[in-house]
Amino acid sequence: MCGINGVVGLKNISEVLFQGIRNLEYRGYDSCGVALMNKSNLMVQKNTGGVEEFFRKGNILATKGKIGIAHTRWATHGTVTRDNTHPFTSCDGAFALVHNGIISNYRFLRDGLIGEGHVFRSETDTEVIPHLLEKYYKKHKSVEKALVKTLNILEGTFAIAMISTHHPDQIFCARRESPLMLGIGDELKFVGSDFNAFIDYTKNAIIMEDDEYAILSRDSYVVKNFLTQEEIVKPITKIEWDSETAKKSGYPHYMLKEIYEQPQTINTALELDSNLMNEVVDMIDVSDKAYFVGVGSTFYVAKFSEYLFSSLTDSFIPAVSSDEFALLAKVDSKSLVLTLSQSGETFDTISALKFAKSKGAMTAAVVNVMGSSISRLVDKVILQGSGPEICVISTKAAFAQMIILTILALKLSLKRKKIKRREYDSSITALRELPEVIQNILNERSGFIHRIANNYSKVKNWLYLGRGIYYPVALESALKMKEVAYVHAEGMPGGFLKHGTLAMIDQDVNSIVFIPPRSDKKLYESTIHSVEEIRARSGFVLGVHFDEGSKNRDLFSEEIILPNVKPIVAPFVQLVIGQLLAYFTAISLKRNVDKPRSLAKSVTVG
Ligand code: F6R
């Protein structure tokens, strides 16, 4: 949602602070601010706009400091203005603070503080925190005591980093339900929303847990619980990703780079610890009731899994959007809730998990970010190892999750004797061959798809249609188009058309239909029937199909023809086409591909 970062060192750290907050910009990018301190001289600068623009225009790097905190914002409380930008300071200017999360009792606290004479300059929930720190510092004459008192009063979710003129060489930070990590370098100590904040400087991380706070100085740190004030000895986690993999490597955008990394994510998924995979399969097997839970793209991963498990394992495991889970699902100690999350920090999915746990349910997750909240909350976690996904829009992470769920479904199917070993082996072989198929499509068809995207980039409305497992493919592809190109795209099952939507078919509404291979005869024919329904009303259909050299071509207004593959991997090939169409349409419309409007990499608020 927002990115926070702090650095303390011996020499000037303004450049280090800039690198760190720039690496976190994918978490939010509507405004940016820093507080830097040299001796007891505290300097705060902030403005609307992205990180680079803010640092350049404000000439921030010219300001020297041995300690500093920074913030990149994705507005939740208060509009995008300079006044609402972090850091916030106390009335006496002794405390500067950045925050990610939502303080739910801020109105009550704010009214009380105003009554005591504090002056507020923003509309945010965050601003109560520095004022509370000032108030309790006056009483206790200790920054640590003031912090502990304040943290115990706050309700809601928070990750904070704070510096104070009372301790010019220390950073104070704390977390409750919002992600926060420490970076432990030899000469520099860091705090960050995630390890991208400090990955260029150290791979030694400490993952902060709920209700913990830390005090960092250049050559030491201490972590304590703010409910008990007990000191906690924290293990150091070695970050496995390197900063190079998090760079663009010559691609114009991270989105394209990450689409091209998908073949590799398939190989990684196939190499995952098979004991761990079997344990998750066993959990599904023994549960009375199971759910797949995710939101946004990961809800579509869940939906994809719902179809997979129905057809392969003969059990219906509903997909539920995380934000609706507590309103809909019935869970008890025999239920399994399998959550999907790229970031592992999504508020709605964490809430669904907490609800499930409060009912005693078993929990598991497929997550990309190690050390993330969801990965630590569940009974069993599969870390997908897809590498950093920097583009705000998820491509390779969601894609890899679908591969992992396919492997789980095949394993369960074999275990339940729904398929024979031969069929299992041939499906795994098809998955092993998939990286090459996708690589060839990326190498050979991207130019063609780029031209199609250019030709139709002015189309304002698209229907994305698919049947069976191609329905979630249509949903996910439509979401990609909406979020990166800002073009209206509605995903729908093909069979839905005749129940009303056909009325929309005219020259202003184009359709894209994801067609299964002919070998999936029934599904193929019913999908072609949807195409015919649209064509009968002179509607435009872009058919994405596997019919190399077939006679159906005059059925489509435009077509993307794919190499014939086994039905088990065909939806993945279609997904890549959906991603490329969205990417190239966004390029054609000159959108901000890696940082589209109104989306953040980890949506840590509800
Ligand atoms: C889509 C997208 C979002 C996320 C959703 C869940 O491209 O980025 O829809 O999929 O916010 O995020 P995670 O997977 O981090 O839980």
The DSSP annotation for 494-549 comes to: GGGGGGTGGGG-STTEEEEEE---TTSHHHHHHHHHHHHHHHTTT-EEEEEE--TT
d(CA 301, CA 294): 8
Q: Where are the beta strands (DSSP E) in 198-298?
A: 204-207, 212-217, 220-225, 237-238, 289-294
Q: Which of 343, 369, 486, 598 to mutate to test the pocket of ligand 1 (most atoms within 8 A of CB)?
A: 343
Q: What is the pLDDT of residue 138?
A: 97
User: Which residues lie closer than 8 Å to 602 by C-beta, 6 or more apart?
Assistant: 1, 27, 179, 343, 344, 345, 346
User: Which pair of tokens denotes residue 549?
Assistant: 């050299």
User: Which residues lie closer than 8 Å to 564 by C-beta, 6 or more apart?
Assistant: 517, 546, 548
Residue 552 backbone phi and psi in degrees, to 5: -85, 0
Cα–Cα nearest to 56, from 87, 83, 32:
32
Question: Which of 2, 32, 173, 391 is labelled catalytic?
Answer: 2
Topology alike, domains 246-444 and 445-606: yes
354 in catalytic set: no
Helices H / strands E in the chain, number of each: 17, 24
Q: What is the pLDDT of residue 602?
A: 67
Distance 274 CA to ligand 1 centre (A): 26
User: Which pair of tokens denotes residue 74?
Assistant: 């994705």
Distance 300 CA to ligand 1 centre (A): 10
Q: Which fold has domain 445-606?
A: Rossmann fold (3.40.50)
Q: How many CB atoms lie within 10 A of CB 116?
A: 9
173 in catalytic set: no
Q: Which of 255, 342, 483 to mutate to test the pocket of ligand 1 (most atoms within 8 A of CB)?
A: 342
Residue 480 falls in which region: left (phi positive, over 0), alpha (psi -120 to 50) or beta: alpha
DSSP single-letter state for residue 482: I
Instruction: Name the residue with tokens 């592809």.
Output: 477
| From the candidate CATH numbers 3.40.50.10490, 3.30.1060.10, 3.30.460.10, 3.90.1310.10, the one assigned to the domain spanning 246-444 | 3.40.50.10490
Query: With contact defined as beta carbons under 8 Å apart, do 354 and 382 qualify?
Result: no
Beta bridge partners of 176: 158
Which residue's CA is the nearest one to ligand 1's atom 16? 341
Q: What is the pLDDT of residue 444?
A: 87
Which residue's CA is the nearest one to ligand 1's atom 3? 296
Q: How far is CA 467 from CA 245, 474, 516, 528, in A?
A: 37, 9, 9, 10
Distance 483 CA to ligand 1 centre (A): 11
| Chain-centre distance for alpha carbon 351 | 15
Measured CA angle at 256 (ends 50, 401), to 5 deg:
100
User: Which residues lie closer than 8 Å to 585 by C-beta, 6 or more apart?
Assistant: 453, 456, 457, 481, 484, 485, 487
* DSSP-H helix ranges across 125-166: 128-140, 143-153
d(CA 306, CA 364): 16
Q: What is the pLDDT of residue 69?
A: 98
Going from N- to C-terminal start, the domains of the chain cover: 3-239, 246-444, 445-606
Distance 349 CA to ligand 1 centre (A): 10
Instruction: Report the predicted TM-score, pTM, of the whole model to 2 decimal places.
Output: 0.80
Which residue's CA is the nearest one to ligand 1's atom 11? 296
Q: How far is CA 21 from CA 191, 192, 221, 554, in A?
A: 11, 9, 21, 53
DSSP single-letter state for residue 250: T
Q: Where are the beta strands (DSSP E) in 260-403?
A: 289-294, 319-321, 335-341, 362-367, 380-383
Distance 443 CA to ligand 1 centre (A): 27
Q: Is 414 helix (H, G, I), strand (E, B) or coil?
A: helix
Q: Is 286 helix (H, G, I), strand (E, B) or coil?
A: helix
User: Which pair of tokens denotes residue 340?
Assistant: 């999907």
Distance 296 CA to ligand 1 centre (A): 5
Ligand 1: residues with CB < 6 A are 295-298, 341-343, 346, 349, 393-394, 479, 483, 602-603
Distance 599 CA to ligand 1 centre (A): 9
Question: Which of 257, 480, 595, 601 is labelled catalytic?
Answer: 601
CATH says 3-239 is which class?
alpha beta
Nearest atom in ligand 1 to the alpha carbon of residue 297 is 10
Nearest atom in ligand 1 to the alpha carbon of residue 346 is 16
Per-run averaged pLDDT (10 residues), the chain, 606 residues:
91 93 83 92 92 87 93 81 95 97 94 97 96 98 98 96 97 94 96 92 94 96 97 92 70 93 94 96 98 98 98 96 97 98 94 97 94 92 91 96 98 97 97 95 91 95 98 98 97 94 91 95 95 94 87 83 94 98 97 86 66
Which residue's CA is the nearest one to ligand 1's atom 5? 296
Nearest atom in ligand 1 to the alpha carbon of residue 393 is 7
Q: What is the pLDDT of residue 551?
A: 61
- The secondary element (H helix, E strand) that includes residue 461 is strand 461-466
- The secondary element (H helix, E strand) that includes residue 347 is helix 347-358
Which residue's CA is the nearest one to ligand 1's atom 9? 296
Nearest atom in ligand 1 to the alpha carbon of residue 349 is 16
Q: Which of 258, 304, 394, 481 to mutate to test the pocket of ligand 1 (most atoms within 8 A of CB)?
A: 394
Cα–Cα nearest to 518, from 565, 476, 555:
565
Distance 320 CA to ligand 1 centre (A): 14
Q: What is the pLDDT of residue 388?
A: 86
CA atoms within 13 Å, Cβ hemisphere of 234: 23
Residue 161 backbone phi and psi in degrees, to 5: -135, 140
Q: Which of 254, 346, 486, 593 to mutate to test the pocket of ligand 1 (most atoms within 8 A of CB)?
A: 346
Nearest atom in ligand 1 to the alpha carbon of residue 394 is 7
